[in-house]
């Protein structure tokens, strides 16, 4: 009996019998059928039959209008019955068609998704990608489902992906494409999350995404869980980026390095655009030397450089004696802007993203005070006592900077130490290990923050010390160091960050090459947790948009735990 009632409804919709559809719906309800079944199998089933029929023999405008009217009137007749079986919304889905005008497909999808507990917002048919993305932002959508009928409009699907990213919501929504001009291959190529052939498949896919979303962590939770050497929901994406952020935000780098609000806004907007899990308050190495009395050259749209050191290598003893208490320098020069940028970041993101305040480590900081003059390295043999005094002084200066960062809201303190990790093991043990160990422990114990050590370049000889000086923290190193080797060496004791080639791969490679390199990195260092995907050093200013998207896509596609051995 019930199957007959459903068949009668399907036939009525297919034939456009809008005059009698209301009584047929009531008859189905009186027979004991669930109103949701009447809606999805009967009315929506009839619309699906209509779409299949016209897919074979062509569309008759009048017939489509009659069927649409039957579908609409039938849905209205079921509203009261459906209201008594309403359930909590599973999520908000924005649907739209960037070509057209086509209304049958969206109507069917709307009914089916609504009956399955999703709130559906129709952005319209024959609307541009920007309008669909804007609607998704307005309603705080969880999903965006787009139908495409005309193959020459495929570029609109790609544009939609970019528009969602531009609005800072792409990483928060799942995108689904459907329609006769789409396919799984096209979904993969443009970066959509799924392809579905029918409305039923869309429901099934959304249900899968919804279950996954229940298990998703916030970006900050993801980062901090990884630092605890546990498996988060997926591998975090933590690019070390400054010039890239200013370029994406559309400001000259001179503004980025001199204005706390601009730095913070650049970082946050770029992180949201590309789905990063952390923001970083860093700008250039000259800012710390400048605060202690050096001078820097600040180009209009390039990275500042040290113009004059705070301590001259040729007169290091006398220059060092002139320095005051390290705490006196945290409010000098551009440094207060950099330290203060974290406060604005915290106001913008709350606990959404992890916030990293950036300092220079004891050894690299001391070398930068001397203008990175190669002559300063000779102090390791000729003026050891003086060098130890400078290292102790700078360690306290770095701690005072870290203190302000944490007070302003930083969760992690970055510590640039590339110069230190280039040293021989013997020199590292004498001039780096005791100072890093003391400083990082103080940051952990007194400030309650984790530490991320940055050591770009080919530095395998000193990597073994990382867990000793920074237990519970992280270390970033460059592409020259084999990631699998590093994971086996120290990966059980410290979080690894990296280590993609920033220049030949991230800047000059293709999105496909970037995605494959990310997959290999995740496979090498992701098992067991304790891994941030990133470049080996700073992300290039002109890294292509598509390559950054590929990094995020790889984290979701290959970095979701539990990892697959053949990912």
The predicted pLDDT at position 137 comes to: 94
- Identify the architecture of domain 236-498 in CATH: Alpha-Beta Barrel (3.20)
Mean pLDDT along residues 225-241 = 97
Indicate the burial class of 186 (C-beta count within 10 angstroms; 0-12, 13-18, 19 or more).
Answer: middle
58: pLDDT confidence band, cut at 50, 70 and 90?
A: low
Residues 6+ apart with CB under 8 A from 3: none
Q: What is the pLDDT of residue 564?
A: 81
**Domain definitions of the chain by residue range:** 1-86, 87-215, 236-498
Q: Residue 237 — very low, low, confident or very high, per pLDDT cuts 50/70/90?
A: very high
DSSP single-letter state for residue 42: I
What pLDDT was estimated at residue 404? 98
Q: What CATH number does domain 1-86 carry, 3.40.50.11540, 3.40.50.2300, 1.10.1240.10, 3.40.50.720?
A: 1.10.1240.10
Q: How far apart are CA 450 and CA 444, in angstroms?
A: 6
pLDDT tens digits, one per residue of 16-26: 998 999 999 99
In which element (H, E) is residue 452 found? strand 450-455
Confidence band of 525 (pLDDT split at 50, 70, 90): very high
Q: Which residues contact 338 (CB under 8 A, 6 or more apart)?
A: 257, 260, 263, 281, 282, 283, 287, 358
Sequence-distant (≥ 6) Cβ neighbours of residue 58 within 8 angstroms: none
Q: Is the bond leading into 562 cis (omega within 30 degrees of zero)?
A: yes
Superfamily holding 87-215: Cobalamin-binding domain (3.40.50.280)
Residue 505, H or E segment? none
Q: How many CB atoms lie within 10 A of CB 249?
A: 18
Rounded CA-CA distance 129/155 in Å is 10
Q: What is the 3-state secondary structure (H, E, C) of 520-535?
A: HHHHHHCCCCCEEEEE
Greater pLDDT, 558 or 81: 558
Does the structure show a pLDDT above 70 at 104?
A: no
Q: CA nearest 315: which of 374, 376, 366? A: 376
pLDDT greater at residue 168 or residue 303 = 303
**532 backbone dihedrals φ, ψ, rounded to 5°:** -105, 130
Among 489, 485, 490, which Cα is nearest to 467's? 490
CB 453 within 8 A of CB 443: no
What is the rounded distance in angstroms from the CA atom of residue 109 to the CA atom of residue 466?
54
Q: Is the pLDDT of residue 215 over 90?
A: no
Q: pLDDT by residue (tens digit) across 407-423?
A: 999 999 999 999 999 99
- Closest C-alpha among 175, 179, 202 to residue 191: 175
Contact 99, 148 (CB under 8 A): yes
Which structure tokens are listed for 502? 């920033």
Q: Tell me the average pLDDT of the chain.
A: 91
pTM: 0.84
First-to-final CA distance of the chain: 49
* pLDDT above 60 (res 437): yes
Pairing, β 412-416 against β 450-455 = parallel
**For residue 100, is pLDDT > 90?**
no
What is the enclosing helix (H) or strand (E) of 68?
A: helix 61-83
Distance in angstroms (rounded) separating the CA atoms of residues 117 and 89? 5
pLDDT at 55: 55
């Amino acid at each position: 009996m019930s199957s007959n009632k459903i068949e009668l409804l399907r036939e009525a919709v297919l034939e456009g019998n809008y005059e009698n559809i209301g009584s047929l719906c009531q008859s189905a309800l009186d027979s004991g059928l669930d109103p949701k079944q009447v809606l999805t199998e009967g009315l929506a089933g009839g619309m699906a039959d209509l779409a299949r029929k016209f897919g074979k023999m062509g569309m008759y405008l009048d017939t489509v209008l009659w069927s649409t009217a039957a579908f609409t009137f039938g849905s209205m007749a079921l509203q009261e019955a459906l209201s008594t079986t309403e359930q909590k919304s599973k999520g908000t889905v924005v649907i739209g068609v960037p070509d057209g005008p086509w209304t049958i497909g969206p109507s069917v999808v709307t009914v089916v998704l609504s009956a399955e507990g999703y709130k559906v917002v129709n952005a319209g048919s024959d609307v541009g990608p920007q309008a669909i993305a804007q609607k998704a932002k307005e309603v705080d959508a969880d999903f965006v489902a787009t139908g495409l009928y005309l193959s020459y409009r495929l570029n609109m699907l790609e544009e939609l992906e970019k528009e969602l990213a531009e609005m800072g919501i792409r990483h928060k929504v799942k995108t689904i494409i459907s329609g006769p001009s789409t396919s799984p291959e096209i979904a993969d190529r443009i970066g959509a999350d799924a392809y579905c052939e029918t409305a039923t498949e869309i429901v099934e896919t959304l249900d899968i995404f919804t279950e996954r979303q229940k298990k998703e962590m916030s970006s900050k939770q993801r980062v901090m869980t990884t630092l605890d050497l546990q498996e988060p929901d997926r591998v975090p994406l933590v690019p070390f980026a400054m010039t890239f952020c200013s370029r994406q935000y559309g400001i000259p780098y001179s503004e980025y390095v001199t204005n706390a609000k601009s730095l913070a806004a650049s970082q946050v907007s770029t992180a949201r655009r590309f789905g990063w899990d952390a923001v970083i308050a860093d700008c250039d190495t000259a800012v710390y030397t400048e605060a202690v009395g050096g001078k820097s050259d600040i180009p209009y749209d390039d990275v500042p450089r040290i113009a004059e050191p705070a301590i001259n290598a040729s007169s290091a003893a006398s220059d060092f004696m002139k320095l005051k208490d390290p705490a006196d320098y945290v409010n000098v020069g551009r440094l207060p802007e950099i330290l203060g940028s974290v406060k604005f970041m915290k106001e913008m993101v709350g606990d959404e993203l992890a916030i990293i305040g950036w300092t220079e480590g004891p050894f690299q900081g001391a070398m930068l005070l001397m203008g990175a003059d190669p002559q300063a390295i000779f102090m390791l043999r000729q003026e050891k006592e003086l060098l130890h005094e400078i290292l102790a002084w700078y360690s306290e200066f770095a701690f005072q900077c870290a203190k302000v960062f944490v007070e302003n809201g930083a969760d992690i303190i970055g510590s640039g130490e590339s110069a230190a990790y280039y040293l021989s093991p013997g020199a590292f043990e004498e001039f780096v290990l005791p100072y890093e160990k003391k400083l990082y422990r103080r940051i952990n114990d007194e400030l309650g923050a984790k530490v991320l050590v940055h050591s770009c370049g080919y530095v395998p000889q000193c990597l073994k010390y990382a867990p000793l000086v920074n237990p519970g923290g992280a270390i970033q190193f460059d592409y020259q160091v084999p990631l699998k080797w590093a994971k086996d060496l120290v990966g059980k004791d410290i979080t690894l960050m990296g280590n993609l080639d920033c220049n030949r791969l991230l800047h000059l490679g293709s999105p496909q090459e970037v995605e494959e390199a990310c997959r290999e990195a995740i496979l090498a260092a992701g098992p067991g947790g304790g891994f941030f995907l990133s470049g080996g050093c700073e992300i290039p200013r002109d890294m292509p948009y598509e390559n950054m998207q590929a990094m995020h896509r790889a984290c979701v596609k290959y970095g979701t735990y539990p990892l697959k051995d053949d990912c």
